[in-house]
């Protein structure tokens, strides 16, 4: 049973966080507002049991509130107002790269085209498989040895995925800042759609929608762009794609539901069932018996995942830290309502907790908030491609932390590294001479 | 170009923060001390809670239908329902007010469980008072009795959290035996009803083939129900008197709260210039 005091504390944390962040940054469009409104809303929805998913215990809700409060405290502490001497001039941004389609920029474009060709090959293969296999089983097998990427795991992990996501981030930020032509972004979006169709997964399209909206909000707040009706229309395209895929993959449970209803239920499930899963973890697994604290390794698990093939060449017995988490989160579990096949998503707090218990939840939330704010300050005071990409990525990761800690996987790290190389070293900002 | 150059101090203003901390060290320490001392007082003043746990394994797990094997491996998917009738039956019973009401009648006078205060029911007639007491008692029972299904092993962990550990131990033992009796009784009644139904059908039938089929059905029902009646669940972990309280965890609470106090204090120090600015603004423009 959830006591009334919980709701008072939740509302107080959300209101005070937004207020203090607004006082400090001078704007409502800051990472603290995004984080607290998102997390606060879904913690609330989770507590009222909207679609029949098991409600977490009050102890779990206190841990969630601790994370919410600590992220806000960390973020507010390091937030800064925009200094008056560093006003961003749109002309300044648009002038430095547009028209400078150098050799490396062309390579960037050709690399995207190569990715498109590879993806089309896999798309044709997937259509063939889907004619003899139902969507659920196809999705079940997609990353296994019997799946579509059979024998091409290295290509998937070290080329396709990094290339698809990095191109999306770089071109999106470039279009927002007026430094990259829109055709590059359209190509990147097309690759996202094809990739999403090949894996029959919605997460990459959700990533595209969320990051576009986050980027738009930051750019609007900086006064660099104005919101136009066609932007809303553009957001609808991936949304329609998402609805179509959900209908295609619909199950017995939702057989009689409309597309919008499926998405609405899916949305609530996707973002509240992880709280129930985290509650399950807290109440079922005991530290020292079922698992041991991993001391900062899980939080940075993506680096190990990325380096694993290389490390295994020298230390064949090496086991990346994520394997210890998979034994807990890979199991399919029934959390009631539509969440009868839940796995993998246990909120980012699962990773924090697995590293260092409640202290880990508090400290990692705090430092994550502080880091996001610092990048936000950097973006507001000296806007360039790289800090916009990182800001969008970190805001996305903090918001979608309601599902899981993505930095335990390799893909965000590859985006960070590749974006750094692409934007800072080789292509877009190399020739900037002001 | 120079005016666009941002120093590390500006980007990640930790150095400014340390400087401000030193300037406002008294405020900084006072906030930490308030959190630390507050948490110590709280953990000493609050009533301790003890938890008695038992793990039960429902009978006949082979009857359970596990999750659909063809479910997606990564992320989430809207799959079909799962059926775990024995576990569900136990869970429904534990949650039901009808079942819990037995404990209300049994432990009505036990202050260790229901601490009814007369003043809470002042001005109510007998009927209203009885209704309100029942409502409060059930609310308390739902709060005190907790359960968790371990879907990996098909077990249910039942726990009782109370201020008196010996009473909690006795209560959980009683709870388990009552639960078993209650489900057995329900199953027996259901079995008898089924038996009556099929026997009547069999008697009415003139066709020996149909009679034979119905009798077979009765036998199947009897066999299945007998299994469930004779063995509702097995106690895997018996209740035991706990040696350590579960609340408050004094050391952990004080450490975590003091740490939060330190971080909160840092935030307040960083906000101080903003508050001063607002204060000055309000002072200059009182309207």
Nearest residue of B to residue A271 by CA position?
B76
Q: Per the CB < 8 Å rule, is A341 touching B270?
A: no
> Which residue is associated with the tokens 């879907």?
B151
Q: Give A138 or B240, the one with higher predicted confidence.
A: B240
In the stretch 367-406 of chain A, residues with CB closer than 8 A to chain B read 374, 377-378, 381-382
Q: Is A248 on the interface with B (CB under 8 A)?
A: no
Q: Report yes or no: B57 and B155 within 8 Å, Cβ to Cβ.
A: yes
Q: Per the CB < 8 Å rule, is A24 touching B270?
A: yes
ipTM: 0.86
Q: Express each pLDDT in A93-121 by its tens digit.
A: 443 444 455 677 778 888 999 999 999 99
| CATH 3.30.1890 domain range(s) in chain B | 47-63+82-237
Confidence of residue A92 (pLDDT cuts 50, 70, 90): very low
Q: How far is B248 from chain A (nearest CA, A)?
A: 12
CA–CA separation, B54 and B149 (whole Å) = 12
Q: Per the CB < 8 Å rule, is A249 touching B77?
A: yes
CA–CA separation, B49 and B52 (whole Å) = 10
Q: Express each pLDDT in A177-210 by its tens digit.
A: 888 888 889 999 999 999 999 998 888 999 999 9
pLDDT at A268 over 90: no
Question: What six digits make up the tokens of B69?
Answer: 């094997």
Q: How far is A237 from chain B (nearest CA, A)?
A: 22
Nearest residue of A to residue B254 by CA position?
A359
Query: What's this model's pTM, rounded to 2 decimal places?
Result: 0.84
For residue A240, give every residue at least 6 positions away whose Cβ sits within 8 Å of its Cβ, in sequence order, or none.
none
CA–CA separation, B155 and B58 (whole Å) = 7
Mapping DSSP onto H, E and C, the string for chain B reads CHHHCCCHHHHCCHHHHHHHHHHCHHHHHHHHHHHHHHHHHHHHHCCCEEEEEEEEEECCHHHCECCCCCCCCCCCCCCCCCECHHHHHHHHHHHCHHHHHHHHHHHCCCCCCCCCCHHHHCCCCHHHHHHHHHHHHHHHHHHHEEEEEECCCCEEEEEEEECCHHHHHHHHHHHHHHHHHHHHHHHHHHHHHHHHHHHHHHHHCCCHHHHHHHHHHHHHHHHHHHHHHHCCEEEEECCCCCCCCCECCHHHHHHHHHHHHHHHHHHHHHHHHHHHHHHHHHHHCCC
In the stretch 157-196 of chain B, residues with CB closer than 8 A to chain A read 157
In the stretch 218-257 of chain B, residues with CB closer than 8 A to chain A read 252, 255-256
Would you state the pLDDT for residue A167?
94
Q: Per the CB < 8 Å rule, is B11 touching A338?
A: no
Most confident of A224-233, A266-275, B72-81: A266-275
Q: Express each pLDDT in A287-326 by its tens digit.
A: 988 899 999 999 999 999 999 989 999 999 999 999 999 9
Q: How far separated are the first and last CA of chain A, in Å rounded?
A: 61
- Report the interhelical angle of A31-48 vs A58-78 (nearest 10°): 170
Q: What CATH number has the domain spanning B47-63+82-237?
A: 3.30.1890
In sequence order, what are the beta bridge partners of B156? B56, B149
Average pLDDT, chain A: 87
Q: Looking at the partner chain, which of A1, A73, A343 has a beta carbon nearest the beta carbon of B142?
A: A1
Residue B218: how many CB atoms within 10 A of its CB? 18
pLDDT at A330 over 90: no
Between chain A and chain B, how many beta carbons pairs sit less than 8 Å apart?
161
Q: Per the CB < 8 Å rule, is A251 touching B75?
A: no
Nearest residue of B to residue A88 by CA position?
B4
Q: How far is A112 from chain B (nearest CA, A)?
A: 26
Q: Per the CB < 8 Å rule, is B263 touching A139?
A: no
In the stretch 68-97 of chain B, residues with CB closer than 8 A to chain A read 68, 70-82, 84
User: What stretches in chain B show pLDDT beneath 70?
Assistant: 1-13, 60-85, 225, 227-230, 287
Q: Per the CB < 8 Å rule, is A341 touching B68?
A: yes
Q: Is A257 on the interface with B (CB under 8 A)?
A: no
Provide the percentage of residues in chain A whose pLDDT is more than 70: 90
Provide the percentage of residues in chain A whose pLDDT is more than 90: 57
Q: Looking at the partner chain, which of B11, B71, B151 has a beta carbon nearest the beta carbon of A374?
A: B11
Q: Report yes or no: A362 and A70 within 8 Å, Cβ to Cβ.
A: yes
> For B55, phi and psi rounded to 5 degrees?
-115, 125
């Amino acid at each position: 049973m959830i006591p009334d005091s919980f709701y008072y504390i939740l509302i107080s944390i959300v209101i005070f966080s937004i207020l203090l962040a607004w006082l400090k940054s001078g704007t409502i469009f800051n990472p603290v507002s995004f984080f607290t409104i998102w997390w606060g809303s879904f913690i609330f929805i989770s507590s009222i049991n909207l679609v029949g998913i098991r409600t977490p215990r009050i102890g779990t809700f206190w841990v969630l509130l601790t994370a919410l409060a600590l992220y806000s405290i960390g973020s507010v502490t390091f937030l800064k107002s925009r200094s008056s001497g560093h006003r961003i001039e749109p002309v300044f941004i648009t002038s430095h790269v547009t028209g400078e389609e150098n050799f490396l920029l062309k390579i960037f474009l050709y690399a995207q085209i190569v990715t498109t060709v590879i993806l089309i090959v896999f798309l044709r293969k997937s259509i063939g498989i889907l004619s003899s296999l139902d969507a659920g089983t196809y999705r079940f097998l997609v990353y296994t040895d019997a799946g579509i990427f059979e024998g091409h795991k290295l290509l998937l992990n070290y080329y396709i995925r990094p290339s698809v996501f990095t191109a999306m981030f770089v071109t999106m930020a470039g279009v927002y800042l007026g430094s990259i032509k829109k055709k590059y972004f359209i190509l990147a979006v097309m690759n996202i759609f094809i990739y999403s169709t090949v894996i029959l997964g919605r997460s990459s399209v959700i990533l595209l929608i969320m990051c576009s909206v986050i980027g738009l909000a930051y750019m609007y707040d900086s006064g660099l762009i104005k919101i136009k009706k066609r932007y809303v229309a553009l957001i609808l395209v991936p949304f329609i794609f998402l609805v179509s895929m959900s209908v295609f993959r619909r199950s017995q449970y939702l057989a009689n539901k409309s597309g919008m209803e499926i998405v609405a239920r899916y949305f609530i499930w996707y973002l509240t069932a992880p709280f129930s899963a985290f509650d399950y973890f807290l109440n079922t697994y005991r530290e020292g018996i079922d698992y041991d604290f991993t001391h900062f390794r899980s939080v940075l698990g993506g680096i190990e995942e990325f380096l694993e093939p290389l490390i295994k060449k020298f230390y064949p017995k090496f086991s990346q830290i994520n394997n210890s988490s998979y034994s807990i989160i890979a199991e399919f579990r029934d959390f009631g309502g539509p969440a009868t096949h839940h796995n993998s998503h246990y909120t980012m707090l699962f990773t924090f907790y697995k590293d260092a218990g409640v202290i880990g939840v508090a400290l990692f939330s705090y430092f994550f908030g502080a880091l996001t704010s610092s990048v936000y300050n950097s973006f507001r005071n000296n806007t360039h491609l790289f800090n916009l990409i990182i800001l969008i990525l970190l805001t996305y990761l903090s918001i979608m932390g309601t599902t899981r800690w993505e930095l335990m996987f390799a893909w965000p790290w590859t985006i960070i590294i590749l974006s750094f190389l692409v934007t800072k070293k080789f292509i877009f900002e190399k020739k900037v001479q002001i | 170009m120079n005016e666009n150059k941002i120093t590390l101090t500006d980007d990640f203003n930790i150095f400014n923060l340390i400087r401000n901390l030193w300037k406002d060290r008294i405020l900084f320490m006072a906030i930490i001390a308030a959190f630390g001392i507050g948490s110590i007082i709280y953990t000493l003043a609050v009533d301790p809670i003890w938890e008695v746990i038992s793990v039960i394994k429902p009978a006949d797990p082979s009857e359970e239908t596990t999750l659909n094997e063809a479910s997606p491996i990564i992320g989430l998917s809207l799959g079909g329902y799962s059926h775990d009738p024995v576990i569900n039956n136990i869970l429904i019973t534990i949650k039901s007010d009808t079942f819990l009401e037995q404990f209300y009648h049994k432990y009505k006078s036990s202050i260790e469980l229901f601490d009814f205060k007369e003043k809470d029911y002042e001005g109510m007639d007998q009927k209203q008072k009885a209704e309100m007491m029942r409502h409060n008692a059930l609310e308390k029972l739902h709060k005190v009795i907790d359960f968790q299904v371990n879907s990996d092993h098909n077990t249910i962990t039942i726990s009782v959290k109370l201020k008196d550990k010996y009473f909690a131990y006795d209560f959980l033992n009683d709870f388990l035996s009552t639960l078993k009796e209650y489900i057995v009784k329900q199953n027996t009644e259901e079995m008898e009803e089924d038996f009556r139904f099929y026997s009547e059908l069999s008697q009415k039938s003139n066709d020996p083939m149909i009679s034979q089929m119905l009798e077979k059905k009765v036998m199947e029902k009897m066999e299945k129900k007998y299994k469930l009646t004779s063995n509702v669940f097995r106690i895997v972990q018996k209740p035991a008197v706990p040696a350590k309280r579960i609340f408050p965890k004094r050391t952990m609470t004080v450490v975590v709260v003091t740490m939060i106090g330190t971080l909160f204090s840092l935030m307040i120090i960083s906000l101080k210039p903003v508050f001063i600015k607002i204060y000055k603004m309000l002072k200059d423009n009182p309207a």
